[in-house]
Amino acid sequence: MCVEHGSNSGLKVIAGLHNRFEDSDPAVQKSEILQVKNQEEWHEPNRHSNDISLLKLATKLIFNENVAPSCAPREVDYAGDTVTISGWGTTYSGGYVTEELRYTYVIVQTNAKCSESYPDRIDETMVCAAAPGRDTCKGDSGGPMAYNNNGRFEVMGLTSWGRGCALEGFAGVYSRVSAQLKWIADNAK
């Protein structure tokens, strides 16, 4: 999801939802957004650098079997690790968004490998991942890339950009959460 700094108009968080049309399910929790805080260095030094926002909720979420906190990532690059990506976006370029939350698995690349496809566009605030025929796509922006560390999901990336959807030779590019931990701590008050 792309948000303008400070603009919370019409935005809300819906937690525990797995089908777009079941938002009246009692297990689903909703909260208005009080504040949007974008990373001040967004687009610095590259076009999609520091692609992250914090949303301040009006009401607290209650953790249960459908809604759980995510864990902060470790300060490792995760290169070679299999991670889960998920979202509500299209399943191919030009397609329609899905009704059900979808997920798949991809493998994290080194930034050096990713830079072969995207020369001079990848920096330390980004992380790339790919697998044949698997990727996030239009409508998945802001969604998680998570590493399953013995049942604890570390959100180590946020869907940001890429060339097409699952194009051979072009990994999906995600905002690297570990590069933003200090900014998150300083701004999550």
Domains in the chain, please, with CATH?
12-68 (2.40.10.10), 82-180 (2.40.10.10)
Our answer to whether residue 81 is catalytic in this structure is: no
Our answer to whether residue 140 is catalytic in this structure is: no
Averaged pLDDT of the chain:
93
The length of the chain is 189
> Which pair of structure tokens corresponds to residue 84?
């889960």
0.75 cut: is pTM over it? yes
pLDDT for position 49: 97
pLDDT for position 24: 80
**Which residue in 5, 23, 25, 43 is the catalytic one?**
5
**Which residue in 49, 53, 117, 141 is the catalytic one?**
141
- Would you give the DSSP letter of residue 43? T
> Which pair of structure tokens corresponds to residue 108?
């994290």
Q: What is the pLDDT of residues 41-89, one digit of tens each?
A: 999 999 999 999 999 999 999 999 989 999 999 999 999 999 999 999 9
Confidence of residue 1 (pLDDT cuts 50, 70, 90): low
Confidence of residue 7 (pLDDT cuts 50, 70, 90): low
CA distance 67 to 52: 21
CA 63 to chain CA centroid, nearest Å: 20
pLDDT for position 17: 92
> Which pair of structure tokens corresponds to residue 26?
């009692």
Give residue for tokens 């397609």.
Answer: 95
- Is a pLDDT exceeding 70 seen at residue 128? yes
* DSSP secondary structure letters along 132-185: TTB---TT-TT-EEEEEETTEEEEEEEEEE-STTT-TT--EEEEEGGGGHHHHH
CA distance 146 to 73: 9
**Which residue in 48, 51, 135, 160 is the catalytic one?**
51
CA distance 170 to 3: 26
φ and ψ at residue 28, rounded to 5 degrees: -80, 135
> Which element (helix H / strand E) includes 117?
helix 111-117
Torsional sign, CA 56, 155, 124, 122: negative
pLDDT for position 119: 97
Q: What is the pLDDT of residues 92-114, one digit of tens each?
A: 988 999 999 999 999 999 999 99
- Would you give the DSSP letter of residue 187? H
CA distance 177 to 125: 8
- Is a pLDDT exceeding 80 seen at residue 90? yes
Q: What is the mean pLDDT of residues 8-19?
A: 86
